Amino acid sequence: MKIVDIRPTTVTVPLEAPLRHSNGEHWGRFVRTIIEVETDEGLVGLGEMGGGGENAELQFRALKQYLVGHDPFDLEALRFKICNPTASLYNNRTQLMAAIEFACLDIIGQKLEQPVYNLLGGKLRDEIPFASYLFFRYASDDGLYSEVRTAEQLIRHTRDLKKQYGFRTHKLKAGVFSPTYELDVYRQLAAAFPEDSFRIDPNACWSVEDSIWFARQIEHIRNDYLEDPTWGLNGMRRVRENTVIPLATNTVVVNFEQLAQNILNTAVDVILLDTTFWGGIRACVKAAAVCETFQIGVAVHSSGELGIQLATMLHLGAVLPNVTFAIDAHYHQLRDDIIVGGKIPYINGKMSVPTEPGLGIKLDHDKVQEYAELYKELGTYCYDRDSRRPGWYPLLPNDRWADPMKG
């Protein structure tokens, strides 16, 4: 079996409302590049990559000269074709590799009539628990979804999500307002749901000193972990030395070299594996095995996925013995998806692992066309900018300590 074509399509799918984070905002939508890898036997595998737009499409088209004629079963050879060390000096190809690998595993599963989890050693669980992913957000332009800025609004929003989806773990994206304000909000959130667990993530925008101060103020809360309060292995190590809360990361340990450094001189307790950032599902399985050996915790990270990458997260979560935390996902923030049947449902805070061959999902081509046209109309956006706070930047003290009722 050989690859005969790779077809990338960039789409933009609306969110319920614009989500705010430490670097700016998601402008009411996610931009994703979908790929279809076709073989000479007529099988088509699906992959997905975040952002990029036209640039991502050009990169996938450029890869065709390397990959047409390649057997999708030869995944290690594929890795060296795309991500060999010399090429990696000049090209950031990890996420491209991930999308192609997703599609190849989808093809292999279809060929063998087996779900992807069986290609990875077999599933250990049928359902995967998820955390709510809570954001400060602007109200939607159509008025259907209200803003979330105050503790009262956040608690009401969390209660609605818990009622609708059944979440028992809640993650707050922080770094939008001052640490003192967000501390008060986080404390009130935890007090409102005393039987649930919590985690908070300011996207590494706090100083080491602010991070230590914040951690000490929340040690009484039932925290899963404190995620990326500050930047760098050294900064995280200093925070870890001054708190009893486990630290987690999806920013400073995202490859095997960084994982080795963290094992030799621990700075982070929980590695948040991302099937895109690490270069595929198989790389995450390998990393989880290393973490199991050295008793480093693992969880699964969300990078704004649609249904294709979500399926990879479900298959990954199904096979890892050492995933002890609920998975992160932006997914409930989406208004729609590009897979047949629409959005995958949550039941009691969990999702069922797909059992059909391959990834177990199919493209809704009408939806792909609809959201590809929407992308052409709206174009891309700057992730590191807040459209309603021009000139704002998280590390500038005057802005970082801004009054939340004015911004």
Q: Which residues are catalytic?
A: 173, 301
Beta-carbon contacts of 67 under 8 Å, excluding residues fewer than 6 positions away, are: 3, 6, 78, 81, 100
Residue found by looking up tokens 């595998």 in the block: 45
Beta bridge mates, 148: 137
* Residues in CB range of 205: below 8 A, 6 or more apart: 22, 23, 175, 394, 395, 400
If 0-12 CB within 10 Å is exposed, 13-18 middle and 19+ buried, where does residue 139 land?
middle
Q: What are phi and psi of 36, to 5 degrees?
A: -120, 120
Distance CA(332)–CA(318), nearest Å, equals 20
Alpha carbon distance 51, 306 (integer Å): 12
Task: Tally Cβ neighbours within 10 Å of residue 213.
Answer: 17
What is the C-alpha separation between 343 and 190, in angstroms, rounded?
Answer: 29
Query: Within 13 A of 118's CA, how many CA atoms are on the CB side?
Result: 16
Query: What are residue 229's phi and psi, to 5 degrees?
Result: -70, -35
Spatial separation of the C-alpha atoms in residues 19 and 210, rounded to whole Å: 24
Supply the angle between the helices 281-294 and 256-264 in degrees, to the nearest 10: 10
Count of beta carbons in the 10 Å neighbourhood of residue 45: 27
User: Which contiguous run of DSSP H or E holds residue 284?
Assistant: helix 281-294
Q: Using CA atoms, how far apart are residues 218 and 199, in angstroms rounded to an integer?
A: 10
- Quote the CA–CA distance of 371 and 12 in Å, as a whole number: 5
